[in-house]
């Protein structure tokens, strides 16, 4: 779709599209002075997204990730991109002191996440690893063109994949000289840069933990710079009174026991925000702020439950639900 406003003597185009990908609604917005080139770029971005899903989804039996898990205990040839993701996973696991561990897939499946929750894919057959165990991140052996995980283990890229992809898409967009601004949302992970079609910076709303259909009167402003935003938590998409169990605490292999309903992080790196948001949820509202600061993440908003009341803590400061804007 197009939207063309006049800005002085120049003409900017706003091209946007929404598709179902990676288990959620995915949105791409491009602001450009060259509509034709932007349409071509849009096609390339969607191709990248669907190819990424095809190769690294654990819900597709023929994906590179699924075949890798089937070969646990065997040195397996891997693609260059898969090697890069695995290296990133190892780095993030060590950076988080083990709070992020890609080996939690068996525990995740045991907690009820065996099949995809995406509409239309709920009954698709998947590989069942509920009887496998967990491994230490050092059990992930990465070579130049192959990798290996311990026998009786399996990995999941759900805690890092969207952040990794968001950074890759932003890099691809930034190589195009005609782009004035962009907005990419992969469910709970997004990256924005430049300006909107009217020349203003992007203002990103923050979902309310009390009502999933509403947003807080708190906004993240990119100030024309590229920033990434990731949201994680225990809030169920379908029922705000029901807890999700998709965040596994690798210290006890159980769903996170936490008071945090939702947490939103904003920084320059999407993969950093993606991983550390879930880690912060595990730590709870008391310990999460110090952990986030240690990761050098600039801005955060925590919505947590205290005596059946939702409180909001932003950048370490307890606030009420009033309008705020953060760079």
Per-residue pLDDT tens listing for the chain (327 residues): 444 444 443 588 999 999 999 989 999 999 999 999 999 999 999 999 999 999 999 999 999 999 999 999 999 999 999 999 999 999 999 999 999 999 999 999 998 877 765 555 554 568 899 999 999 999 999 999 999 999 999 999 999 999 999 999 999 999 999 999 999 999 889 999 999 999 999 989 888 888 766 777 677 888 889 999 999 998 765 444 456 668 999 999 999 999 999 999 999 999 999 999 999 999 999 999 999 999 999 899 999 988 777 788 776 666 554 444 444
Is residue 257 packed enough to be buried (19+ CB in 10 Å), middle (13-18) or exposed (0-12)? exposed
State whether 144 and 237 are in the same domain: no
- CATH of residue 207's domain is 3.10.520.10
Distance separating alpha carbons of residues 158 and 174, to the nearest angstrom: 25
Residue 108 within any structural domain of the chain: yes
Domain finish residue from 87, 116, 148: 148
pTM of this prediction?
0.90
State whether 212 and 143 are in the same domain: no
Domain finish residue from 129, 148, 167: 148
Q: Note whether 243 and 209 are within 8 A (CB).
A: no
Query: Percentages helix, strand, coil for the chain, rounded to the nearest 5?
Result: 30, 30, 40
Residue 64 sits in which domain range?
59-148
Is residue 214 packed enough to be buried (19+ CB in 10 Å), middle (13-18) or exposed (0-12)? exposed
- CATH of residue 114's domain is 1.10.3980.10
State whether 309 and 228 are in the same domain: yes
Per the structure, the count of domains in the chain is 2
pLDDT computed for residue 306 by the predictor:
82
């Amino acid at each position: 779709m197009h939207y063309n406003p006049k800005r002085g003597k120049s003409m900017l185009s706003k091209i946007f599209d929404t598709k179902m990908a990676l288990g959620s609604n995915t949105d791409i917005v491009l602001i450009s002075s060259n509509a034709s080139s932007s349409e071509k770029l849009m096609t390339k971005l969607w191709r990248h997204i669907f190819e990424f899903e095809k190769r690294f989804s654990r819900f597709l039996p023929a994906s590179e990730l699924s075949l890798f898990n089937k070969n646990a205990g065997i040195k397996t040839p891997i693609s260059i991109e898969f090697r890069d993701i695995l290296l990133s996973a190892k780095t993030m696991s060590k950076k988080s002191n083990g709070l992020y561990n890609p080996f939690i897939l068996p525990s995740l499946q045991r907690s009820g996440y065996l099949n995809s929750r995406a509409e239309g894919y709920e009954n698709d057959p998947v590989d069942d690893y509920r009887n496998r165990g967990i491994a230490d991140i050092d059990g992930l052996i990465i070579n130049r063109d192959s990798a290996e995980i311990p026998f009786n283990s399996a990995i999941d890229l759900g805690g890092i994949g969207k952040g990794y992809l968001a950074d890759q898409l932003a890099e691809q967009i930034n190589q195009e000289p005609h782009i004035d601004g962009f907005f990419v949302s992969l469910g709970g992970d997004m990256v924005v840069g430049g300006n909107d079609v009217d020349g203003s910076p992007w203002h990103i709303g923050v979902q309310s933990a009390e009502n999933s259909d509403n947003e807080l009167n708190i906004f993240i402003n990119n100030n024309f710079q590229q920033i990434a935003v990731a949201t994680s938590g225990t809030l169920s998409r379908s029922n705000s009174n029901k807890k999700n169990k998709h965040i596994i605490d690798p210290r006890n292999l159980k769903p996170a026991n936490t008071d945090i309903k939702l947490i939103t992080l904003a920084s320059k790196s999407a993969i950093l925000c993606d991983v550390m948001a879930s880690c912060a949820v595990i730590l709870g509202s008391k310990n999460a702020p110090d952990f986030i600061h240690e990761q050098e993440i600039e801005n955060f908003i925590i919505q947590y439950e205290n005596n059946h009341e939702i409180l909001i803590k932003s950048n370490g400061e307890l606030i009420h639900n009033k309008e705020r804007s953060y760079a």
